[in-house]
Each structure stands twice: as C-alpha cells, then as structure tokens.
C-alpha cells in the first residue's frame, strides 16, 4: 500500500495525496444519513493527464476510485463504500472557453457552480447557466452527472440536458471525447446528429469514468428578474396551476414549497414564480399573462398572490437560494438529506400529504420543495427532514421516513433522483430485466475491473 | 360576544347616504344607495358586499359617526365570504398570531408602539425620538389587528384586540404613542365601536412629531419642497388626526400640492386591492394616483403608513418622485438622514 501512496505522490505531488487519518475521516462521510466508510487515499489531481494516470494505476491494482465534487449530493454517492481512492476534483476547476455566440461554456471536471456563476457575471454578463440551489461549492459536472436541476430547468429540462460535450477518462484509462468535440474544435452538441454517447456517463454516478471536461449550454441573462408567489390551501389544485403556468411559457423557474414553520406558511402551498425581462414592459407583459392564467383561482378564492414585500424579494431572487441551506441546518449539527424523487406533477397532492404524514409519524420537522422540470413534464419533489447529527434517534427516524418515501415514490410510478445505494437496488429490482442486462453489459464493458465508485449501479 | 354599536335609525333618517354614494368603487345614486344600504343593514344579499374593495373610506364619508364599513365587514363574515382568497386570508391570520416573540425596550409609563412593524423601529431614530426611545414595544402581542377588516374577519379582531390592550396595560404603559396610524385607529375608532376598553391614553405619532419639532424649532431648516401626501386606508378611521399633516408641513417649510386624489378623495396604496380584486383594478388605482402626483408637480410623496411606502415607493421612484415617510421628512428638516430608502 505504501507503494500506492508513493505512486500517487509521483503523479500529483506530495501536497495533493493523503493517507492520513484526518483526510480519511473527512472524505469517509457526507452530510447525509449514510454510515461513513473511509478511503485509503485521497488525491487531488490538477490535469486530465493526472486523472488518467491515477485511473490507470487504480485499474492495474484493482483499487476503487470515487470521483468527488462538492460532496453535496447528500445520498452517500461520494462515500468510498469499498475504500480505495477518493479523487477530489476541486483542483481541476478551470473555465476553458466561453463561446459567446453559440452560447456554451467548456468547464473542467471540478469547476464549481459558484465559480462559473461569478465568472459569467464578470466576463459574459449577457449569459448565464442553470444554477442549482445547492451551496456554491457544488460542482457543475457532478450536478450534470446526477441529473441535477437548476434555475432554467423549467425552460430547458434537467441540467444534464444542457450538456454539449464531454471529455472522459474511462476506467481503463483511455481519454474519450463525446459529441461534436470528438471531430471538431467546437463543443456545440453532445451527440446529435451522431450517436449520443453521453448517456454512457450522465446518470451513472461516476461508475463509468471520470469526466474531466464538459461543454454546457448557456442562456440569455435578462436584465431584470422579479418574483411572484401564488398560494393555495388546496394541494389538489397544484398540478392544474402548474399546467396553466407552464402553458404561458413566460416563466423562468417554478418552485413549490410547503412547510409548517414559521406559522404564516402553514396550511398553504406556495408556488414561487420567477420572471425575467430586459425591460419593465417585458416584465409587465409576462406578469399579466401569468396573472390572467391564474385569475380563475382568485375568483374562486382558492388561490391568490401573496404580497412579497420589497425587502423579502432578495430572499426569493438570490442564486443559489441561501434560505435552503439555512433550512438544511435548522436543527443544527450539520445534518441534512432529502429524498427527491422525480414524479409527475399530478402526484404533487399525494406527495405533499405523504410528506406531512411521515413528519407526524416520525416526529420530524419538514419542508416540501419542488422544482418543475420542463413544461410540467415532471417534477422533483424534495421530501426534506432535517436532523441534528448529534441526535442518533432523530437520525434514525429520518432514515425510516426517507425509506418509506423511497417505497412510496416507486409505487407512485416515479424514479429516485441521486439515489442512495439502497434506492438504486430498489429501482434495479423493478427494472425491465433486459434493460438491466444492458446496463450490466455497458458497465462490464467500460469498467471490467469494477473500480469506479463500486456498489453504485452494481448490476447483479 | 362583542357587538358592533351601529345605529340603524341614523341611516333611516339619512338623506345623502354618503357612505355608498361617495364610494369610489361603486356607481350608485342616492336612491340605489338607500336601497342597497337597507339590504346590508337587514343582512340581505347586496352587491355592495362583493363590490367593496375594503378601502375603509365610508367610515369617513358617514357624517354621523355610524360605522358603515364595520357593518359591511360584519355582514361579509356572517355570510362566510372571503374578500381575499382563502389561503391569503389564512396566511395573514397565521402571520400575526402572537407567539411570545415580542420585543421590548426599557418600557416606561410613556412608550412608543412599533406595532408589529420592524421598519417603524428603524424610522424612530435621532433627536426627535431621543427622550422617548428607550421605552418601546414591538411584536404580534401589540399588533392592532385592524388589517383583518380587509379580510372580512372581524372575529379575529374581536378575539385578539382585547388581549392586545391587556398586553399593553400589563407593561405598565399609561400613554402609548402609536407610530402605526392603524394602531391609533384601532384604539380610537374600532375599539369604541365594539365596546372594547382601552385602559391607557393613546397619542398619534403625528401629534408627537409636531410637538417634538416645535421643541427643535431652532434646528429646522425649511425644506422648501412641493410634496404630495399619500393618505392611507386607516386614516379614514381617524380623520381628526389629518390636520397634523399640514401643521407639520407648515413647521418644516413644505408645500402640499393640490391634487385630485387627496383628502376625502384619496386613493389607497392599492396592494390590498390587488389581493381582494386582482391586478387590473390595483394597477389602475396605482397608476391614477401616481399620474396625479406627477401632474401636480410634486417632488416628494410623503407617506404615513409604512405598508403604503412598501407598495408604492419603487413605482414612484421610477416615475421621478421621491418617496419618503413623514418621520424621515421631519428628520430631513433637522438635518438627519432618512431611514427608508428605495432599492
Ligand atoms: C441546501 C442544498 C440545496 C440543493 N439544491 C439543489 C438544487 O436546487 N438542484 C440540484 O440539482 N441539486 C441540489 N442539491 C443537491 C446537490 O448538492 C447538487 O446536485 C450538487 O450539484 C451536487 O454536486 P457535488 O459537486 O456536490 O456532487 P458530489 O456529491 O461530489 O458528486 C455527485 C456524484 O457525481 C460523481 N462525480 C463527481 N464529479 C465527477 C466527475 N468529474 N466525473 C464523474 N463523476 C463525478 C460522484 O462520484 C457522485 O456520484 C442541493 C443540496 C443542498 C445541500
Ligand atoms: S352609514 Fe352613515 S352615511 Fe351611510 S346611510 Fe347610515 S348614516 Fe348615512
Ligand atoms: S370600504 Fe371603500 S369600497 Fe367598501 S363600501 Fe366603503 S368606501 Fe366603498
């Protein structure tokens, strides 16, 4: 094993490898509920070539490699369940190119969401990316790897749908380019009109290779943003409200949230509607379309727009939403995990009832937070129960509640998002057997020694 | 159960039926108004109950001190009507429910009430408040609750207001200086109308400001500006306080422009109308009001109510009018910095 350490030092230098207790402790856990498991080594490469050398070495020695971005997926995806190497991607964080006219950016495998946001604001103020509400140290690539969702997801789909190309170090050490960048210097398409191979890597949770570069679509940044919050006390109306809102095609992003605290929020479901425009006229026009679309609920008194006072607006408009991170730590102690199944919008009522029911059953504080994906094509329903890491009993209750959520989500016909290893198993048990076989074949082909993030998407 | 002191005989003898004839949101002549008002009194269906935007103005229009608006609200609630959407109504009721989170200064017999509005605490700074300031109260426990008139929920007021007066009395307060106009309206109009005892003296902050400005007369540098005044809904409950606005303006060298929507004909800030009637009427009210201020050539628009300020400040600033709360205006006149700013 000390040979391995030396070999890693040779690749990245002494300062960027560790097999010490402190690093192993830190990299053996995430903020969620999964039990810790320590790596043998932590390594921080700086270049694609270094990544390649590390992966080749690990493949030769059949040692697991777990790529890690911000480690904020929360569901144990970066916990090295079979030990080995945690490859912290944060040093590979350059923004390599912005094609202003074709509206895409090429980032490295560890570029952070916050880093990309501020870079664009400074150098390309007319462009933006679909930033998620995760804390800003979350990484752009990992977010696409787990099919994350951001501010522009209602308009353009999952953040992974915005990927325009990849550079991947395969588990066997080859460096592959995926998409137009495989034949051209331009990174405008991840596949079309060729076969789209990006699906071999996106959604695989780092089990089929390490992404070292990624092209990502950028979108126009409008000059003004504003917010409206529509409130109803009838959860059964929410799917219809979403259908009407998305029909207007006037909205930047739609989030729905329900929570019992503080008291002014209890009993109601809140639909945050974000709107953008280059002028007051554009904004006003969009608002009117939105108001008109929902007028019938105001007339029937079943719903209405809440008065968002000017001093409260920044809380809704900031990116990422700090309030989410604050809620994440409401019980203090730094523990947070949420289950965010992807379900149909029509499942909102059932999901919100389940959320509250489990909170009562397990005596927990809850918040339901939803992001609309596409024009109400589906939603991410976040079942969030916070816990204090020092309270083992509370952690256990959250674990049980989230397990029930996992079963419930599948019964509803949904899928798990950024699934824990157990949730992956639950999905694979239900999966069409031939599809599962195909997944197994792909994994076996790409990672014959099973070194990449083992126990995740492990077929059979 | 607290009951509204409403004198039907006054209405029987009333020829002008000003409460409804003057209403800015209904188009009724005297005869129609008389008929509809009788229906309201008799608790029969009347379009008045639906058409009311809850602007409070008829409380002022009635020359006999009867309480037409309070009666309308009673009738709306009796019918289980919601003026605003039900979830919004719930939100407001839940928001201001006392939860033991009130805050206190060093409370003395004379105390400033910031109601449940932290912005009022930011406003009450500087020399004008120096002597009174250590003694203040803030929180849902001291919240006047008048706002529920907008939501057809007199029951909430009847339930909470007596406790609020008790809470204030328990602090040993003998004189409450109300920085929220609506609090003053609550203790001087609504409470007596329902027979609720107010066991302390109340002073409107206009009067307080006026007296303080006189004390600091030497420090005043006349502002020499033309201002419009944004009269708020609760001013309709206590029109007797209005003269202080001009008295204060006189002291600090401010000229109140003549305009259509002032005095009895004032237009409210429009945000409650947005909640109860939707955006079209609200936008129309706000636009007419701001156009009027612009046309009258005012440089500033002076606010009494912090919520009106929140509703209109940005919109006015975009039209080149400087929004300012009257407390800030007074501070400006003695060379101090305003607390509320747009953006
Ligand atoms: C308060 C809060 C709010 C959140 N809000 C959102 C939200 O709005 N939208 C959203 O989508 N998510 C949200 N999240 C979840 C999560 O933080 C984000 O999805 C985040 O983008 C994950 O990025 P990360 O760098 O932390 O990923 P990590 O947890 O480090 O990694 C996630 C997965 O990607 C793999 N991986 C990492 N880097 C690579 C690479 N270079 N190549 C191959 N595989 C790799 C890892 O092995 C792992 O399987 C939120 C989390 C919190 C705590
Ligand atoms: S409420 Fe007043 S104005 Fe209206 S009818 Fe009665 S007395 Fe006349
Ligand atoms: S409160 Fe206003 S809208 Fe309602 S009846 Fe009285 S004057 Fe008319």
- A21-64: per-residue pLDDT in tens? 999 999 999 989 999 999 999 999 999 999 999 999 999 999 99
CB contact under 8 A, B85 and A297: yes
Q: State residue B342's pLDDT score.
A: 82
Contact B87 A264 (CB under 8 A): no
* Atom number, ligand 1, closest to the C-alpha of residue A159: 11
pTM of the model: 0.95
Q: How far apart are CA B321 and CA B328, in angstroms?
A: 15
Task: Report the pLDDT value the prediction gives residue A330, as an integer from 0 to 100.
Answer: 80
Task: Output the CA B66–ligand 2 centroid distance in Å.
Answer: 6
Residue ID of nearest Cα to ligand 1 atom 28: A71
B18 lines ligand 3 (CB under 6 A): no
CATH number of domain containing A249:
3.40.462.10
The reply to whether ligand 2 has any atom less than 6 angstroms from the CB of B103 is no
Degrees, nearest 5: CA angle B199-B205-B207: 95
Does residue A311 sit at the B interface (CB-CB below 8 Å)? yes
Question: Do A388 and A310 share a domain, yes or no?
Answer: yes
pLDDT for the residue A438: 98
Instruction: Mention every residue, 6+ apart, whose C-beta is less than 8 A from residue B58.
Output: B18, B19, B20, B22, B23, B68, B69, B72, B236
A110 by Cβ neighbours in 10 Å (0-12 / 13-18 / 19+) ranks as buried
One domain, residues A28 and A129:
no
Please give the Cα distance from A399 to A35 (Å, whole number).
11
Residue nearest to atom 4 of ligand 3 (CA): B52
| Tens place of pLDDT per residue across chain A (460 aa) | 569 999 999 999 999 999 999 999 999 999 899 999 999 999 999 999 999 999 999 999 999 999 999 999 999 999 999 999 999 999 999 999 999 999 999 999 999 999 999 999 999 999 999 999 999 999 999 999 999 999 999 999 999 999 999 999 999 999 999 999 999 999 999 999 999 999 999 999 999 999 999 999 999 999 999 999 999 999 999 999 999 999 999 999 999 999 998 999 999 999 999 999 999 999 999 999 999 999 999 999 999 999 999 989 999 999 999 888 787 778 887 778 889 999 999 999 999 999 999 999 999 989 999 999 999 999 999 999 988 889 999 999 999 999 999 999 999 999 999 999 999 999 999 999 999 999 999 999 999 999 999 999 999 7
Computed over every residue of chain B, the mean pLDDT equals: 96
Cα of A297 to ligand 3 centre, how many Å? 24
Please check the confidence at residue B258 and state whether its pLDDT lies above 80.
yes
In this prediction the ipTM stands at: 0.93
CB contact under 8 A, A306 and B86: no
Cβ(A147) to ligand 1 under 6 A?
no
**Are both A202 and A251 inside the same structural domain?**
no
Q: Are residues A266 and A302 in the same domain?
A: yes
Q: To 10 degrees, the CA torsion angle through A352, A358, A361, A367? A: -70
- Rounded distance between C-alpha atoms, residue B144 and residue B86, angstroms: 21
Helical residues (DSSP H) of B96-242, grouped into ranges? 118-123, 154-170, 181-185, 191-193, 205-215
Q: Ligand 3: which residue has its CA nearest to atom 8? A: B23
> Looking at the 3D structure of chain A, how many domains does it have?
3
Phi-psi category of A62—alpha, beta or left, where left has phi over 0 and alpha has psi -120 to 50?
left
> For residue B316, which of B278, B343, B277, B337 has the smallest C-alpha distance?
B343
Distance from CA of B274 to the nearest CA of A (A): 8
From its phi and psi, is residue B142 left (phi > 0), alpha (psi between -120 and 50) or beta?
alpha
Q: Which of A173, A19, A13 is nearest to A85 (CA)?
A: A19
Between chains, do A309 and B313 touch, taking CB under 8 Å as contact? Answer: no
* φ, ψ for residue A381, nearest 5 deg: -100, 105
Compute the C-alpha angle B153/B159/B160, nearest 5°.
Answer: 95
| Pick among B88, B93, B340 to test the A interface (most A CBs inside 10 A) | B88
Answer yes or no: is A426 within a domain. no
Whether ligand 2 lies within 6 angstroms of the CB of B210 is answered as no
Enumerate long-range contacts of A244-248, CB under 8 Å, 24 or more apart: A244/A293, A244/A294, A245/A271, A245/A273, A245/A290, A245/A293, A245/A294, A245/A376, A246/A154, A246/A372, A246/A374, A246/A375, A246/A376, A247/A293, A247/A375, A248/A286, A248/A289, A248/A290, A248/A293
- The finding on whether B69 has its CB within 6 A of some atom of ligand 3 is yes
Do A263 and B97 count as a contact with CB atoms less than 8 A apart?
Answer: yes
Residue A35 sits in the same domain as residue A122 = no
What separation, in Å, do the N-terminal and C-terminal C-alpha atoms of chain B show? 46
Residues A127 and A42 in one domain: no
Whole-number Cα distances in Å, B308 to A328, A390, A414, B313: 35, 47, 46, 8
Segments in A230-366 forming alpha helices (H): 238-248, 280-299, 313-317, 322-328, 348-361
Radius of gyration of chain B (CA): 20
Number of CB atoms found within 10 A of residue B199's CB = 10
Q: Which of A301, A308, A309 to mutate to test the interface with B (most CBs of B within 10 A)?
A: A301
Residue B57 C-alpha to ligand 2 middle, in angstroms? 12
Of B82, B95, B271, the CB nearest to A264: B95
Q: Between chain A and chain B, how many beta carbons pairs sit less than 8 Å apart?
A: 62
> Does B270 score more than 70 pLDDT?
yes
Q: What is the pLDDT of residue A337?
A: 84
Closest ligand to Cα B4:
2
How close is the Cα of A112 to the center of ligand 1, in Å? Answer: 10
Element (H, E) at A172: none
pLDDT digits (tens, 9 = 90+) for B103-118: 999 999 999 999 999 9
Least confident among A161-170, B234-243, B333-342: B333-342
Nearest residue (by CA) to ligand 1, atom 21, is: A143
The partner residue sitting opposite B85, judged by closest CB among A263, A280, A301, is: A301
Residues A109 and A197 in one domain: yes
pLDDT score for A1: 52
State whether A80 and A118 are in the same domain.
no
Q: Is A291's CB within 8 Å of B278's CB?
A: yes
Nearest-angstrom CA–CA distance, A271 and A243: 12
What is the distance of C-alpha A16 from the center of its chain? 27
Binding site membership of B48 for ligand 2 (Cβ less than 6 Å): no
Chain A residues close to B279, C-beta within 8 Å: 287-288, 291
Domain that holds residue A349: 224-411
Closest CA to B87 of A365, A271, A312, A226: A271
For atom 6 of ligand 2, which residue has the closest CA? Answer: B11
In a domain, A407, yes or no: yes
Residue A432 lies in a domain: no
pLDDT at B1 over 90: no
Measured CA distances, A92 to A15, A110, A388 (Å): 15, 5, 33
Flag whether residue A306 sits within 8 Å of chain B, measured between CB atoms. yes
3-state helix, strand, coil in chain B (%, to 5): 50, 10, 40
Sign of the dihedral through C-alpha B135, B139, B141, B142: positive
**C-beta of B54 in contact with ligand 3 (< 6 A):** yes
Q: Do B87 and A280 touch (CB under 8 A)?
A: no
Is residue A346 a part of any domain in this protein?
yes
Domain ranges in chain B are 8-78, 86-208, 216-333
Q: CA–CA separation, A389 vs A378, rounded Å? A: 32
Name the fold adopted by B216-333: Rossmann fold (3.40.50)
Select from A297, A298, A312, A313 the residue whose CB has the most chain B CBs within 10 Å, as the one to mutate to test that interface: A298
Contacts of A314 (CB under 8 A, 6+ apart): none
Based on the fold, state whether residues A389 and A245 are members of the same structural domain: yes
Q: Smallest CA–CA separation between B257 and chain A, in Å?
A: 28
Residue B14 in contact with ligand 2 by CB distance below 6 A: yes
The angle formed by the CA atoms of residues A320, B92 and B203, to the nearest 5 degrees, is 115
As a whole number, mean pLDDT of residues B72-87 equals: 97
Fold classification of B86-208 is Glutathione S-transferase Yfyf (Class Pi); Chain A, domain 2 (1.20.1050)
Residue ending a domain, among A220, A241, A256, is: A220
Cβ pair B229, B298 in contact under 8 A: no
| Minimum distance, in Å, between the CA of residue A220 and any CA atom of chain B | 24
Same domain flag for A52 and A189: no
- What pLDDT score was predicted for residue B28? 97
Residues of A in contact with B86 (CB under 8 A): 233, 301-302
Contact indicator for A275, A317 with CB cutoff of 8 Å: no
Protein residue with least CA distance to atom 2, ligand 3: B55
- Say yes or no for a CB contact (<8 Å) between B91 and A268: yes
Cross-chain residue pair B275–A311, CB shorter than 8 Å: no
Q: Confirm or reject: Cβ of A114 under 6 Å from ligand 1.
A: no
Q: Which ligand is nearest to the CA of A129?
A: 1
Strand order in the sheet with A85-88: A17-18, A41-43, A85-88, A65-68
Same domain, A242 and A200: no
A456 part of a folded domain: no
Domain boundary among A73, A88, A103: A88
Judge residue A392's burial from the number of C-beta atoms within 10 Å of its C-beta, 0-12 exposed, 13-18 middle, 19 or more buried: exposed
Task: Confirm if A124 and A103 have CB atoms less than 8 A apart.
Answer: no
Nearest to B186 by CA among B200, B198, B168: B198
B91/chain A closest Cα distance in angstroms: 5
Q: Could you tell me if A354 and A374 lie in one domain?
A: yes
Q: A374, A395, A411: which is the final residue of a domain?
A: A411
Mutate to test the pocket of ligand 3, among B22, B72, B265 (most ligand atoms within 8 A of CB): B72
**Number of Cβ atoms within 10 Å of the Cβ of A386:** 21
Neighbours of A430 (CB within 10 A): 10
Strands in chain B per DSSP E: 103-104, 110-113, 136-138, 175-178, 201-204, 225-230, 254-256, 300-303, 322-325
């Amino acid at each position: 094993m000390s040979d391995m350490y030396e070999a890693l030092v040779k690749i990245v230098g002494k300062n960027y490898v560790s097999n010490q207790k402190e690093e192993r402790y830190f990299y053996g856990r995430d903020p969620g509920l999964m039990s810790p498991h320590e790596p043998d080594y932590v390594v921080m490469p700086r270049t694609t070539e270094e990544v390649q050398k590390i992966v080749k070495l690990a493949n030769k020695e059949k040692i697991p490699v777990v790529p890690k971005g911000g480690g904020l997926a929360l569901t144990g995806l970066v916990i090295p369940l079979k030990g080995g190497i945690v490859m912290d991607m944060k040093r590979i964080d350059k923004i390599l190119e912005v094609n202003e006219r074709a509206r895409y950016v090429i980032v490295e495998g560890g570029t952070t969401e916050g880093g990309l946001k501020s870079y664009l604001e400074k150098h390309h103020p007319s462009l933006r990316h679909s930033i998620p509400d995760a804390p800003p140290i979350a990484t752009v690539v990992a977010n696409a790897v787990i099919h994350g969702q951001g501010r522009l997801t209602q308009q353009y789909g999952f953040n992974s749908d915005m990927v325009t190309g990849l550079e991947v170090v395969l588990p066997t050490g080859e460096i592959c380019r995926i998409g137009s960048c495989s034949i051209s210097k331009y990174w405008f398409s991840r596949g079309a009109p060729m076969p789209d191979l990006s699906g071999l890597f996106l959604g695989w949770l780092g089990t089929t290779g390490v992404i070292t570069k990624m092209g990502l679509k950028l979108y126009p940044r409008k000059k003004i943003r504003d917010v409206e919050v529509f409130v109803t006390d009838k959860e059964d109306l929410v799917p219809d409200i979403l259908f009407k809102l998305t029909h207007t095609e006037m909205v930047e992003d739609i989030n729905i949230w329900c929570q019992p605290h503080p008291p002014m929020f209890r009993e109601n479901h809140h639909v945050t509607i974000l709107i953008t425009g280059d002028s007051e006229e554009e904004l006003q026009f969009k608002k009117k379309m939105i108001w008109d679309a929902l007028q019938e609920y105001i007339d029937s008194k079943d719903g209405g727009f809440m008065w968002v006072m000017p001093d409260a607006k920044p809380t809704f408009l900031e990116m990422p939403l700090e309030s989410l991170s604050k809620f994440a730590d409401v019980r203090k102690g730094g523990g947070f995990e949420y289950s965010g199944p992807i379900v149909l919008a029509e499942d909102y009522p059932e999901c919100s009832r389940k959320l509250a029911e489990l909170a009562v059953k397990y005596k927990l504080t809850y918040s339901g937070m939803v992001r609309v994906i596409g024009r109400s094509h589906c939603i991410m329903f976040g079942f969030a129960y916070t816990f204090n890491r020092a309270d083992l009993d509370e952690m256990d209750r959250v674990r049980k509640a989230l397990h029930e959520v996992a079963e419930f989500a599948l019964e509803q016909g949904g899928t798990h998002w950024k699934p824990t290893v157990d949730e992956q198993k639950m999905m694979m048990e239900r999966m069409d057997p031939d599809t599962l076989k195909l997944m197994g074949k792909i994994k076996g082909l790409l990672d014959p020694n099973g070194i990449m993030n083992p126990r995740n998407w492990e077929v059979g | 159960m607290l009951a509204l002191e409403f004198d039907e005989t006054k209405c029987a003898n009333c020829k002008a039926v000003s409460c409804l004839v003057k209403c800015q949101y209904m188009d009724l002549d005297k005869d129609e108004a008389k008929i509809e008002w009788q229906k309201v009194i008799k608790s029969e269906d009347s379009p008045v109950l639906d058409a009311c935007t809850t602007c409070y103005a008829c409380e002022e229009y009635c020359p006999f001190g009867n309480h037409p608006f309070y009666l309308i609200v009673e009738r709306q609630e009796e019918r289980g009507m919601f003026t605003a959407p039900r979830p919004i109504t719930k939100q407001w009721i839940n928001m201001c429910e006392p939860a033991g989170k009130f805050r206190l200064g060093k409370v003395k017999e004379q105390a400033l009430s910031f109601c449940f509005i932290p912005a009022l605490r930011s406003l009450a700074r500087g020399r004008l408040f120096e002597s009174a300031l250590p003694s203040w109260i803030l929180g849902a426990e001291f919240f006047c609750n008048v706002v529920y008139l907008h939501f057809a929920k007199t029951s909430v007021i009847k339930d909470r207001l007596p406790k609020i007066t008790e809470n204030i009395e328990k602090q040993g307060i003998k004189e409450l200086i109300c920085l929220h106009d609506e609090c003053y309206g609550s203790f001087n109009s609504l409470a007596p109308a329902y027979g609720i005892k107010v066991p302390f003296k109340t002073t409107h902050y206009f009067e307080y400001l006026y007296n303080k400005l006189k004390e600091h007369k030497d420090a005043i540098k006349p502002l020499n500006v033309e201002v419009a005044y944004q009269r708020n809904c609760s001013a309709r409950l206590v029109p007797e306080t209005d003269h202080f606005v001009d008295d204060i303006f006189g002291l600090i060298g401010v000229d109140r422009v003549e305009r259509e929507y002032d005095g009895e004909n004032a237009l409210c800030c429009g945000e409650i109308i947005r909640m109860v009637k939707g955006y079209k009427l609200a936008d129309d009210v706000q636009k007419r009001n701001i156009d009027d201020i612009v046309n009258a050539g005012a440089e500033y628009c002076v606010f009494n109510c912090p919520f009106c300020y929140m509703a209109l400040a940005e919109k006015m600033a975009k039209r080149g009018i400087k929004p300012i709360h009257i407390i800030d205006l007074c501070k400006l006149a003695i060379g101090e910095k305003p607390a509320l700013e747009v953006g």
